[in-house]
Structure 1
Amino acid sequence: MSDVSDWWHTSIIDMAPGQIRMRGRPIEELIGTISLPQMIWLMTRGDLPNDAQAKLLECALVAAVDHGPQAPSIAAARMAVTCGLGLNGALASAVNMLDDVHGGAGEQAVELYHQIDGIMAEGSSLPDAAASAVRQWQSEKSKYAPGFGHRFHKPRDPRAPRLLALVEDAAQTGTISGRFGTIAQAVQDFLEQKAGKPVPMNIDGATAVIFAELGFAAPLARGLFCLSRSIGIVAHAWEQMEQGGRNKGPTPPGYRWTYEGKNPIE
């Protein structure tokens, strides 16, 4: 039967009748003794964080739960509900929109921070490493530096300074090294010098600092953001269910789109 039992193989969970072990730990010992952030860490990393690490992770998750109905993923969830979908369908519709442009900046920022860290390991100064990595990113991937600037929050994203203050506190207590916070600040300094105006860090850049400091791989940063934003998605979908409405599109019916094609000849 090994060809069947080995079809899937995992170190995450072991089950038998009357027994469930997560990463080797009986589920009944985890229930009531660890928090959800600790459980997320255990499931994705294989071990348990200390209380300070779990608290910092929790702060990042709390900060990113929602950004209003104008966010495409939230709007999609609310529209899905008015089309008859349940909470699970609305959640799936919304999370599937959290890709590179809307939802991927945190993962990309972790990648950028690690790239800068790697350049510094080869002997470059922090300012030079930040400038080199950002220039390469903007040349090869996108003119937008992930995690910096915001189309709505001017002059700054209110979530980022609070998260960065918590990062600084955690670095002072030895919970984290603080080096990725320093790297992110160097990116901001370079962007502002280049643009000649403020280009403040946003929520994605700040949570990316925390995820990188805590040792999460870049792809997991997007997964963690999806977990966080799912809370807001469920809240909006449920609210829309309570409000009612049928077949609501992205704009009220009285508003028309811009038609740019040819009109039929009369």
Structure 2
Amino acid sequence: MDDWKKKAEDWWETSIIEMSPGVINYRGHPIQELIGNVSFPAMIWLMLRGELPSDAQADLLGHALVAAVDHGPQAPSIAIARMAATCGVGINNAMASAINVLGDVHGGAGEQAVAFYQEIDAMVGGELSRDSVAAALEKRSAIDKYVPGFGHRFHPVDPRAPRLLQLVEEAAAKGVVGGRFATIAQLIEATLAERKGKVIPMNIDGATAVVYAELGFAPPLCRGLFVLSRSVGILAHTWEQMQQGGRNKGPLPRDATWTYSGNRASSAS
């Protein structure tokens, strides 16, 4: 019986949570000591990294999470949440429907950008310069012309990116982060502008990737962090749609039907 009990206890071995009657410890910290003393961004850090961040690190993480909360119903995830809400499902179902479309194309660029910055950093090595980053970018472009984190189909200049970079620069000046990945991102932006003959500005994914890279988060975690951030907007839009009502609202109004491009039956002679 003891062997069976030990096997059962080891089945889901974890260093994240310890729990027994009257005891809840996250990463070794009693929950009652965390409540009221730790911010939500700091709690995310603790759960993912196994240690509490400094207040300045938690603040910078929180800034990135705030920046990506919502982008309106023109974003597929938000539109899907609102459509799902009109189908009579619960709030969790609508949120899950939206979160499930946050993939490589919609929601994954932040992860890709962090990996991209790290790749450029490894290729450059040593001191950063416009020439060294341009050379690394040239090598990468020969393989993949897509540059994650730059350009936006809606915004000529993404208003979120400059503010996040400003906050990273302030954090670097205080020694909270090193600032190397911010420099890499800015040099990439300058190189792209030189090549294209016009500015291809950093977007929200590129800017949050700077924050996450500076804070040392692994690329796959950055997609999860985006999901946490965007879930706030998804929840807000789901709840608003539930208050507005409506039944079975699709992507188009009833009198704006889609363009049919298939065959048509010939009329009877």
Q: TM-score, normalised by structure 2?
A: 0.94
Which of residues 15, 18, 39 is equivalent to 2:43? 39
Which deviates the most, 176-185 or 249-258? 249-258
The reply on whether 1:262 has 2:266 as its aligned counterpart is: no
Matches within 5 A, 1:150-161: 150-154=152-156, 156-161=157-162
Which of residues 69, 85, 89 is equivalent to 1:85? 89
Structure-2 residue corresponding to 1:107: 111
TM-fit CA distance, 1:131: 3.1
Structure-2 residue corresponding to 1:131: 134
Report the secondary structure of 1:211's partner residue.
helix
Name the CA distance, whole Å, in 1 between partners of 2:127 and 2:168.
24
Report the secondary structure of 2:166's partner residue.
helix
Q: TM-score, normalised by structure 1?
A: 0.95
TM-fit CA distance, 1:127: 3.1
Alpha-carbon spacing, 1:182–1:44, altered in 2? closer, same or farther (3 Å): same
Which of residues 34, 55, 58 is equivalent to 1:54? 58
Report the secondary structure of 2:162's partner residue.
helix
TM-fit CA distance, 1:139: 4.5
Name the CA distance, whole Å, in 2 between partners of 1:137 and 1:262.
44
**Conserved? CA contact 2:160–2:203, under 8 Å:** yes
Structure-1 residue corresponding to 2:174: 173
The reply on whether 1:6 has 2:10 as its aligned counterpart is: yes
Structure-2 residue corresponding to 1:164: 165
TM-fit CA distance, 1:130: 3.0
Residues 189-212 of structure 1, C-alpha deviation per residue, up to 9 Å, x if partnerless? 111111110101111101100000
Name the CA distance, whole Å, in 1 between partners of 2:169 and 2:258.
48
RMSD of the alignment, in Å? 1.4
Structure-2 residue corresponding to 1:149: 151
Report the secondary structure of 2:211's partner residue.
helix
Gaps of 5+ in 1: none
Which of residues 84, 97, 110 is equivalent to 2:101? 97
Name the CA distance, whole Å, in 1 between partners of 2:7 and 2:132.
49
Q: Extract structure 1 runs of 4+ deviating beyond 6 A.
A: none
Structure-1 residue corresponding to 2:207: 206
**Conserved? CA contact 1:112–1:133, under 8 Å:** no
Identity in percent: 63
Matches within 5 A, 1:224-235: 224-235=225-236
Residues 133-152 of structure 1, C-alpha deviation per residue, up to 9 Å, x if partnerless? 444554544x4311111111
Report the secondary structure of 1:15's partner residue.
strand
Name the CA distance, whole Å, in 2 between partners of 1:223 and 1:176.
21
Name the CA distance, whole Å, in 1 between partners of 2:27 and 2:265.
65
Alpha-carbon spacing, 1:264–1:133, altered in 2? closer, same or farther (3 Å): farther
Alpha-carbon spacing, 1:214–1:125, altered in 2? closer, same or farther (3 Å): closer
**Conserved? CA contact 1:79–1:250, under 8 Å:** yes
User: Match for 1:24: what amino acid?
Assistant: G
TM-fit CA distance, 1:258: 1.5
Gaps of 5+ in 2: none
Name the CA distance, whole Å, in 2 between partners of 1:184 and 1:71.
25
Which of residues 78, 83, 86 is equivalent to 1:74? 78
